[in-house]
Amino acid sequence: MMENSKIWVSDLNARVRSAFPKTTVRFYDTTLRDGEQTVGVVLSPQQKVEIALKLDELGIARIEAGFPRVSPEDAEAIELMQKAGIKAELWGFSRAMKADVDELVRLNLRFSVIEAPTSNVKLKAYGITREEVLRRIRDSVAAARVADITVAFFAVDGTRTDLEFLKTVYLTSLEAGAEEIVVVDTIGACGPEAAEYLVRQVCQWVGKDVPVHFHGHNDFGMATACAVAAVRGGATWIQGTINGMGERAGNADISEIALALRCLYDVPVELNLEKVREVSEVVQRAGGYTLEAWKPLVGQNLFMRESGAVASQFHLPEAIEPYSSEIVRAERRIVLGKKSGLDSIDLKCQELGIAITPEQRGPILAAVKKAAVSKRGLVTNDEFREIVGGKPLAL
């Protein structure tokens, strides 16, 4: 359990914490399926197994292992995962089509999302009627249940679907044998208030015994906020990806959501935040991309301080950070550059074991700033040693 003494957020958050259920929020990871839809990313079956094992260490309860009907490589990855001793549930992904369900059966998957389009614009795009989509939902879910597959029904573009029809869709899927429901913001079209409203409505439609998921995208930069709002509305499962990877602006970032729920709203989460940065790096390497240095939770700059004004407060982490670096096992450190100050020089000398006199501080700082401006970047430790020309402190 995370210590509250390592969380230094605003007391104003306490005003809304009572609005959040205290049920533990769990995570359904779709990095290996929806995350791989990131443009230019291709994960091999072996890489998917490596990532799945890291997700297991992270505490992810459910891993969406792939879309086997449309990808032989996904089918291979699923077979490898089944042999890898993964504790998390392995979930498949299926359209509301018998052939897709048959492939789940062939692979002996015991759990799967089954999806179908529900909004008018999606039905128009696919050229199918409401009656036809309801028939497909009934037939595919029933086939999965006959095969003893637990189904979570996934209404594609649900946030832009007429509410009365969406209610009919969800109730039809439950009558056919679905056990869980996914509220899906396919193109990130909802703000947090709308996400909370819809999840609350769906929870009322399906009843308290049916788990409700939220699956969001980040097209307006609000995926984390929408997922948090969905929890307030009654969702107990959040679907998303590592690093928020995915199509267009990406999916909801599971780790960001877990951090926000736990630190801001004191909601219990089933995720080991100490492992997040490690898993993030594994996924980045496999996907062949790098994240911006200022990305929440996993960015390299989060606990790195260049500013002299901030360096003067470095001894008191809660003065300059909202939560302890220990929560996510990150290193706090001072770096030197254009914006450094005298305290930055002192701290870097302490770190490197270099002795300087008080009179040297000003000239050294001036030389550091000049070097940083010249190279348009940070001054490395070796460059700093060269500037100082100092000697190690005697111990």
Task: Report yes or no on 207 lying in a domain.
Answer: yes
Is 54 found in the same domain as 155?
A: yes
Q: Are residues 270 and 311 in the same domain?
A: no
Does 370 share its domain with 272? Answer: no
Final residue of a structural domain among 239, 262, 287: 287
Q: Among the three residues 259, 287, 315, which one is the final residue of a domain in this structure?
A: 287
13 lies in some domain: no
Same domain, 218 and 326: no
For residue 177, pLDDT over 50 is answered with yes
- 3-class DSSP state for residue 92? strand
Query: Strands 391-392 and 354-355: what pairing?
Result: antiparallel
pLDDT value of position 3: 67
Rounded distance between C-alpha atoms, residue 163 and residue 198, angstroms:
9
pLDDT in tens, 7-35: 999 999 999 999 999 999 999 999 999 99
Q: Which domain holds residue 352?
A: 304-392
Shared domain for 270 and 327, answered yes or no, is no
CA 135/CA 148 separation, integer angstroms: 20
Residue 374 scores a pLDDT above 50: yes
pLDDT in tens, 224-242: 999 999 999 999 999 999 9
In a shared domain, residues 88 and 132: yes
Phi, psi of 211 (to 5 degrees): -65, 140
Half-sphere exposure of 393 (CA within 13 A, CB side): 12
Same domain, yes or no, for 150 and 180?
yes
* Cα dihedral value 177, 180, 185, 190, nearest 10: 120
* pLDDT score, position 394: 37
Q: Is the pLDDT of residue 395 over 90?
A: no
Q: Structurally, how many domains does the chain consist of?
A: 2
Which residue in 38, 49, 51 sits closest to 285, CA to CA?
51
pLDDT for 2:
56
Nearest CA to 2 out of 342, 369, 324, 368 is that of 324
Structure confidence at residue 4 (pLDDT): 82
Partnered with residue 238 across adjacent β-strands are 27, 214
How do strand 26-29 and strand 237-240 relate by DSSP bridges? Answer: parallel
34 belongs to a structural domain: yes
d(CA 260, CA 253): 11
| Residue 78 located in a structural domain | yes
Residues 223 and 318 in one domain: no
Which of 287, 320, 348 is a domain's end point? 287
- Same domain flag for 125 and 213: yes
Average pLDDT over residues 261-265: 97
Asked if residue 296 belongs to a domain, the reply is no
Same domain, 162 and 271: yes
Residues 337-348: tens digit of each pLDDT: 999 999 999 999
pLDDT confidence of residue 391: 47
d(CA 228, CA 235): 9
* H or E element, residue 337: none
Determine, yes or no, domain membership for 294: no
CATH at 29: 3.20.20.70
Whether 177 and 222 share a structural domain: yes
pLDDT bin (cut points 50, 70, 90) of residue 389 is: confident
Is residue 56 in some structural domain? Answer: yes
Residue 362 falls within a domain, yes or no? yes
Query: Other CB atoms closer than 10 Å to residue 46's CB: what's the count?
Result: 12
Angle formed by the axes of helices 130-146 and 163-176, to 10°? 30
Quote the percentage of the chain above a pLDDT of 90.
Answer: 97
Asked if residue 356 and residue 224 are part of one domain, the reply reads no
Structure tokens at 136: 């497909």
